[in-house]
Amino acid sequence: MHYKDIIKKIIEIMPKNCEVTKIEPEGLSMVIYIKNIKAFYEKDSLIKELATSIKKKVTIRSDSSVLLPIEDSKKVIESLVPADAGVKKITFVPEMSEVHIESLKSGLVIGKGGSLLKEIMLRTGWAPVVIRAPTMPSVTLRGVRKINVVGAAERKKFLVDIGKKICQPSPTSDWIRIVALGGFKEVGRSCLLVQTQNSKVLIDVGVNTSTSDTSKAYPYLNMLGFSMKSLDAVVISHSHMDHMGFLPYLFAYDYQGPVYCTPPTRDLMVLLQQDYINLCKKSLNIEPLYSKKDIQNELKHIIPVNYGEVVDITPEIKMTLYNAGHILGSASVHLHIGEGAHNLVYTGDMKFGFTRLFDPANTRFPRVETLLIESTYGGRNDMTINRFDSEKRLTDIIEKTISRGGKVLIPVFAVGRSQEIMLVLEEYARRHPDFQVPIYIDGMVLEASAIHTAYPEYLREQLQRRILSDRSPFENPLIKVAKGTDKGEIVNGEPAVILAPSGMLAGGPSLEYLKLMADNEKNTIIFVGYQSSLSLGHKIQTGIREVPLLGDDGKTKLLKINMQVETAEGFSGHSDRAQLMAYLRNLRPTPERIITMHGDMNKTEDFARSAGMMLRKESRAMADLEATRLR
């Protein structure tokens, strides 16, 4: 339906005494500006009636002429919100007629059934938007939220333009195809094009940070056959660099369209992309692909979408994001193309098994004809050990190292594995009061953990309750921030556990600690995550005891690995072979076609054969630069 027709329908439904002054599409929502808020609230079912009629999200805002002055409104809000709600900040956004209330206990601000929000809007006119404040300080969150407020006028114009493009009659396409542009029969630089006659959507656009070979590092966007400007949308499944690290490059080269992802993916994405720039300059001595200005431009174009929210991303494609269980905010992407012409699910990286952070990946979809599924551990022999045994092995190695006076280095991905390991160690410390070993977190681990506390609704229920009741495990007294502390002091001090990125020793604090700790045979390095075949971590893990490293003077030197090298499996955010097969057995409905991706060549092919035999459906492994017609 054209947005002008939607506006006519809204006018027909809206009571005259609401005094509608303006209606416009704004991103994924139709925004209605009115003068009489009280009249609108007199009919409780009005929002539901509007949304059902136009099949879009509806947002109600006050006309600017009836807004209470900001200072007076702030006093009203402060008088209404309970003192124990932990309000950290109140920010007014006149361009949107909104007031953003950042609070530690957002439920108290909302009130029972949203009654408090209703009262705020009735008394001030400002539409309240409640934002969860992190329990730990976060520079990233502060920056992201500031940009969205400071650039509100520019962002509003962008959202209105996007809303008008999306609100068009759904065209009919004779064909639908997918093109593998990265991350197929390999791990790294994930990128998929979903294309019809009328729509072009990219899902993920990653960079392989474990290689310096540019032919293997970046997705094959030069093979698109059209300019970036003609892309309708980009969807990001989650915030790891191999799925979103190339995104700012698109904005450096003419893409000005929307990016869809979950809110925590947006925040973590900015954190990791900025770190990538620093890593390139400081550790890798290479010029980064993009600048912080490109990241800021990217941020202005992100439209966050929550799990389960059905949204139009082109006139003929509806998208829904579902929990993938991999890292905070990670999503499996469901695309409904045309009027039921085809349904596609792209799992992204997913975990269908127990973790302390998240529920297992979602397996229920409205429809699915084609499934694209990750195969990182899809090989026949990729079976991880029992999670209880994994945790026991990890803590046993730590205890043995500490008992001989050594330090433990655990290279971790800042997002996901670091928080998982922190929860394991925090639980162990609670059950074993004698374990009083400091756990140092370095690099981006603190920032990433703070962002986790801002989105408790994306975590397992037990963890949610702990964070919301001021018992966050990430703030256990044993967990100490290494920032500002000399690494040499930590390495030469008392026995300790050190969690530091990067997880594959590609640079960052983990590499610096390795240089300081490698010579001491009392120390231990424990690998708890995936190590790509080209990474330094993989070389050390597989037995190489002399590794070449670039020194500060620009010369290559050999680093001798005398420390103990251990691996504690079972903490991966990816599903192993058994979990992948269980995911397929539990998937409803059963797809007609299965395409494997995100895994080494032999693993994607092996898993495709097994999946096809089990489900008795068409199944194969696509390779980079292959195209498959779905309809």
Distance CA(233)–CA(255), nearest Å, equals 9
What value does the mean pLDDT take over residues 587-601? 97
CATH superfamily, region 77-133: K homology (KH) domain (3.30.300.20)
> Would you state the pLDDT for residue 555?
80
Find out whether 34 and 11 touch, Cβ atoms under 8 Å: no
In 3D, which of 212, 215, 220, 216 has the Cα closest to residue 186? 216
Count the neighbouring beta carbons within 10 Å of the beta carbon of residue 549.
Answer: 15
Tens-place pLDDT, residues 187-214: 989 999 999 999 999 999 999 887 778 8
How would you classify the pairing of strands 439-441 and 479-481? parallel
Q: How many CA atoms lie within 13 A of 53 on its CB side?
A: 18
Residues 6+ apart with CB under 8 A from 222: none
Distance CA(145)–CA(139), nearest Å, equals 10
Secondary structure of residue 299 in the 3-state scheme: helix
> Would you state the pLDDT for residue 283?
63
- pTM for this entry: 0.94
Distance CA(200)–CA(423), nearest Å, equals 41
Query: Are both 3-65 and 77-133 of the same fold?
Result: yes
- What DSSP line would sit under 534-562, residue for residue? TSHHHHHHTT--EEEEE-TTS-EEEEE--
> Would you state the pLDDT for residue 284?
64
Distance in angstroms between the alpha carbons of the first and the last residue of the chain: 24
Instruction: Compute CA distances 371 → 350, 412, 566, 581, 621, whole Å.
Output: 13, 30, 36, 13, 12
Estimate the crossing angle of helix 3-13 against helix 46-54, to 10 degrees: 150
Least confident of 81-95, 277-291, 529-543: 277-291
- Structure confidence at residue 111 as a pLDDT band (50, 70, 90): confident
Tens-place pLDDT, residues 553-592: 778 889 999 999 999 989 989 999 999 999 999 999 999 9
Mean of per-residue pLDDT scores for the chain: 94
DSSP 588: B
- The CA-based angle 288-294-298, given to 5 degrees, is 130
Between 499 and 551, name the one with better pLDDT.
499
What value does the mean pLDDT take over residues 121-131? 97
The structure tokens 């209606």 sit at 23
Secondary structure of residue 494 in the 3-state scheme: coil
- Look up the CATH number of domain 3-65: 3.30.300.230
Find out whether 344 and 630 touch, Cβ atoms under 8 Å: yes
Count the neighbouring beta carbons within 10 Å of the beta carbon of residue 123.
Answer: 16
- Look up the CATH number of domain 168-233+242-257+273-295+349-381+576-629: 3.60.15.10
pLDDT at 622 over 90: yes
387-567 maps to CATH 3.30.70.120: no
pLDDT at 330 over 70: yes
The tokens for 371 are 């499934």
Give the whole-number percent of the chain exceeding pLDDT 90.
Answer: 83
DSSP 250: H
pLDDT at 329 over 90: yes
> Would you state the pLDDT for residue 399?
97
Q: Is the sign of the CA dihedral 166, 172, 174, 176 positive or negative?
A: positive
Secondary structure of residue 32 in the 3-state scheme: strand
How would you classify the pairing of strands 439-441 and 593-597? unpaired
Between 330 and 217, name the one with better pLDDT.
330
Indicate the Cα dihedral angle 109, 112, 118, 121, nearest 10°: -10
> Would you state the pLDDT for residue 459?
96
What value does the mean pLDDT take over residues 381-402? 94
Q: Give the residue extent of every domain in the chain.
A: 3-65, 77-133, 168-233+242-257+273-295+349-381+576-629, 387-567
What value does the mean pLDDT take over residues 441-451? 92
> Would you state the pLDDT for residue 180?
98
